[in-house]
Amino acid sequence: MKITAVEPLAVDRYLFVKVHTDAGITGFGESGTWGFLEASEAAIQKFGRYLVGKDPLLIEHHWQYMYRFAHFRGAAIMGALSALDIAMWDIAGKHFGVPSYQLMGGQVRDKARVYYHVLGDSRDKLVNGVTEAVEAGFTAVGHLTPFLDEERNVPYFKTHVEKIGDAIDAVRLYREAAGNADICIEIHRQLTPAEAVVLGRGIEQYHPMFYEDPTLPDNLDAMAYIASKLAIPIATGERIHTIHEFQMLLERRAVQYVRPDVCMAGGLTHTKKIAALAEAHYVGVIPHNPLGPVSTAACLQLAACIPNFAIQEYPLGEHEPPKSEIVKQPLQLENGFLIIPDRPGIGIELADDALEKYPPISKEVDTRLHYDGSVVDQ
């Protein structure tokens, strides 16, 4: 079996890849570099020229060949490599007539607990979103920011006491609305390490399942400092790409839940290794997933075959258009758990008319500013 073509598919706000073979088997993957999909698409095309004519079952060899081809990588390159890796695992599963996870050690669970995204630009919308998620059967609610999902064209300013006090009160309301469901607090890197400690101590009483990206992840020592001061678990890792970076994060005891993105941290080949590193440190895995349905399907393949899977991020709209219409058969959700599919490959196929119905949407550069004109993270 040989690869005959590599076809990037920009659909709506997602970037997929379809890898064709001379055996008539096709595989699907997705790039997670959502802010720079045009760059990732160019990298897919470049790697594709290498892959044409090659055996798609030599997955580890191709991974190493593409990864070590040049010294300069970054998110756009790793997103492309991840998409192609997932597609080759999809082909391998279909070739052998088994789900891809059977080729990665076999199944350790048949369903994956998920936490649902709740978004809102007002406190009432966020609290109501928590209530609705719990009523819908979810046992965990996440992507919960205590700072509101405001428009980026609105200048930001709060005093320290307002910022921290309002955030603590928001988490209190989320806990009251969630009852015994877990709440997953998402900070989106908006705090300094000192602020992150103050807020973290203020919300410990509400027992969040985790406290995600409380500060910018570039400095691993800063994340370790925050973790050392708090009694709530830190979750981070969506912005790093390699086992080497995750090892540095783990050896600093900076994290209790790693958050590798299957579509940006090297696909299934590499995230399986990251999960093994985490397992050696008694650290859970919560795959990052704000993307499309191919990403969700790939995450489930990982969840199926690792012992330290904790919970899966379940983004908005998986069961609604456009996501439900760009795949032939959506994944199945029951009582807050995704059923791990037993179909060959990664268990999902793009619809033939996906691109026609949902042309690509480019994400333009749009960064929020502070009231004083400086840049703030959101």
Q: Are strands 210-212 and 234-236 parallel, antiparallel or unpaired?
A: parallel
| Residues identified as active-site | 188, 288
Conformation bin of residue 121: beta by default, left when phi > 0, alpha when psi is -120 to 50: alpha
| Residue whose structure tokens are 């009483």 | 205
> Do 265 and 82 touch, CB atoms closer than 8 A?
yes
Token code pair at residue 302: 């990982």
Residue 338, H or E segment: strand 337-339
Which residues have a Cβ under 8 Å from the Cβ of 199 and sit 6 or more positions away? 146, 164, 167, 168, 187, 191, 214
Q: Which spans in the chain are helix H?
A: 37-51, 59-67, 75-96, 123-135, 160-178, 193-203, 220-229, 243-251, 267-280, 293-305, 354-357
CA distance 24 to 165: 59
> Do 114 and 318 touch, CB atoms closer than 8 A?
no
Q: Report the length, in residues, of the chain.
A: 378
Per-residue three-class SS string for 118-140:
CCCCCHHHHHHHHHHHHHCCCCE
